[in-house]
Amino acid sequence: MKFETANQAAARLGVTVRAVQKWAKEGKLEGAQKIGRDWMIPFGAVATETKVDVVETKATKKVFDVAFPMFQLPYFSGELLEHINKISDPDERDLYLIEYYYFIGELEKSEEIAELYIDSPNLKHRLSAKLFSTFDNMITGHLHKVHFAAGLLKSEIENSDLTDESAIRDNALKVFAGVVLKTQLHTPFETVPQIEDYIKHLPEGLRIIALYLSAYKAYLAKDYSRSLGIAQAAINCATMQYPMPMIYCNIICAIDCINLLQLNKAGEYIKRAWELAIPYKMYMPFVEHYSILQGLLENNFKRSDIDNYNKIIELARKYNTSWYQVYNKKTDGKVTMELTPTEFTIAMLYSRNWRAKEIAAHMHISERTVTNYIQVIYEKLNINGRKELEKYVMN
Amino acid sequence: MAKTLNRQFVLYGDIVDVMFVYNESSDKYFGDYPDFDESPRITPCGRRWVNATKDDCPYADKEYGDCGSCQYYRCEHPGDLIGVCDNEKLRKEAI
């Protein structure tokens, strides 16, 4: 029997690769076999039930051509998943689902769909799939897949002519994806250009996220005032709500404020992010930033919203452990695997030169309790000073 | 009953006893260290015992500010959480 790839079958049938993969998975393409990650389709096979759809699709289907759709959603309403499942275009629905499942922490579901689009001929589908697959696998601990998906994304960007003005919008999306990868995962990626040069070519939702990335870069350079200014400007200039970008911007504002010792403002920003995110179970923005939130979640939500807080902690532990294993071989994840969330928070604050009495006031505990925590942290890590602690948590 | 161990910290001829209690969840022993701010202790040669976590000493390293990271902190074994301050200025004050 002669076989063809899912791509070849899709071209022959005039449908998307995703549709072919889905039919193969559902057993509608007789004789289709999965070899590794790819489906092999018997040459000439057609899913009988879908013949009508094929004709219709060929003639009338409008390709869903939006990258990172959740970031571009102007508002959230009602049951998000219900709305997404009602979308009739399978590609559009899947692209939303990849991101939706990621943000609510259902990583396996997100990855299962993202995998189908990694080789998509559509650039926007491909970029979304590669980026979210990297993050999904980071948290599920499939480290070889993290390197695989991140590597594909990097080569996609490195093999493009990013100076080509005629493809400036596509190039802006590639740079956007590259900068997300570089900034959020702290991956070495010197060839990706500055996002600032491409911001104006991005749609509004992504533009706000790009500004958040600029703010995050300033935060990493310890320029907290500049970072706060950028993120505040992004929040104030948006013409619609854009909940996902706003969650990220409010979180970085909160982190900047805490580093500027503006504790009340930090509380206001983190509460705003929480109000936008938690009714829709959008946990991941908090998870991604957990290690630098420095007690803000404990302070504001540990008592009042323990279930959602615990969900974030559970995901944050996985995320940080994998992150350290991938990118920080020196400490080998010890700091996140051995420390409890409270110990981790205190370790972060203490390594940033907060005094025990300042941490005590911030976390509403006694100074003696803070000192006890620090002793336990030191014993767990086999160290005895702030200088060594800094090496563990600040990398 | 919790498993315990005793360890003697010996510096400059002075001995401090610390009890360590076993913690099952982390499979480690944790010390019940004395608080030398609350109960100061001086070696026979006039040096102060300090906790590595003490972070309000005016002579500490400016960058880190805690005794554990300070050049004057002396401990019996690397990583010990109590030790003795070798700063002559503080020794004179102690005497």
Least confident of A14-18, A111-115, A277-281: A14-18
Distances (CA, A) of A22 to A6, A27, A86, A160, A273: 10, 9, 17, 30, 36
Which pLDDT score, from 0 to 100, does residue A336 have? Answer: 62
Q: Which residues pair with A108 in a beta bridge?
A: none
Are A371 and B51 inside 8 Å of each other by CB? yes
Q: How far is CA B93 from CA A303, A343, B42, in A?
A: 46, 35, 11
Q: What is the pLDDT of residues B38-76, one digit of tens each?
A: 999 999 989 999 999 998 888 887 788 899 999 999 999
pLDDT for the residue numbered A61: 52
Which structure tokens are listed for A272? Answer: 């705003």
- Best residue in A386, A393, A394 to probe B by mutation, most B CBs within 10 Å? A386
- Contact B53/A at CB under 8 A: yes
> Does pLDDT of A45 surpass 60?
yes
Length, in residues, of chain B? 95
CB–CB of B33 and A384 under 8 A?
no
Cα angle value A343/A346/A348 (rounded, 5°): 110
- Characterize A354-378 residue by residue with b for buried, 16 or more Cβ atoms within 10 angstroms of its Cβ, and e for exposed: bbbebbbebbebeeeebbbbbbbbb
Interchain CB contact of B80 with A (< 8 Å): yes
pLDDT score recorded for residue A54: 45
Q: What is the pLDDT of residues A141-154, one digit of tens each?
A: 888 888 888 888 88
Q: What is the pLDDT of residue A59?
A: 43
**Complex prediction ipTM:** 0.87
CA distance A339 to A356: 18
Domain boundaries, given as residue ranges, for chain B: 4-94
Check CB contact of B81 with chain A, cutoff 8 Å.
Answer: yes
Full-model pTM: 0.75
Residue B8 has φ and ψ, to the nearest 5°, of -100, 125
State which fold the A328-395 domain adopts: Arc Repressor Mutant, subunit A (1.10.10)
DSSP, res A106 = -
Domain A203-284 sits in CATH 3.40.50: no
Query: How does DSSP assign A233-285, residue by residue?
Result: HHHHH-SS--HHHHHHHHHHHHHHHHHTT-HHHHHHHHHHHHHHHGGGT--HH
pLDDT score of A174 more than 50: yes
Q: Choose the closest CB to A384 out of B28, B65, B68.
A: B68
Q: Are A337 and A306 in contact (CB under 8 A)?
A: no
What are the angstrom distances between the C-alpha of A395 and each of A227, A271, B57?
19, 27, 27
Q: At residue A140, does pLDDT exceed 70? A: yes
- In total, the C-beta contacts within 8 angstroms joining chain A to chain B are 66
- A386 to B69: CB separation less than 8 angstroms, yes or no: yes
d(CA A178, CA A88): 30
Determine, for residues A387 and B69 on separate chains, whether the beta-carbon distance falls below 8 Å.
Answer: yes
Q: What is the mean pLDDT of chain A?
A: 86
Q: Looking at residue A200, what DSSP letter applies?
A: G
pLDDT at A179: 92
Domain boundaries, chain A: 3-60, 74-194, 203-284, 328-395
Q: What is the DSSP letter of A166?
A: G
The residue among A375, A377, A384, A390 with the most chain B CBs within 10 A of its CB, best to mutate, is A384
A183 near A221, Cβ under 8 Å? no
Who among B29, B52, B61 is closest to A384 (CB)?
B52
- Cα–Cα distance measured from residue A210 to residue A44, given in angstroms and rounded to the nearest whole number: 45
Q: How far, in whole angstroms, is CA B92 from its chain's centroid?
A: 19
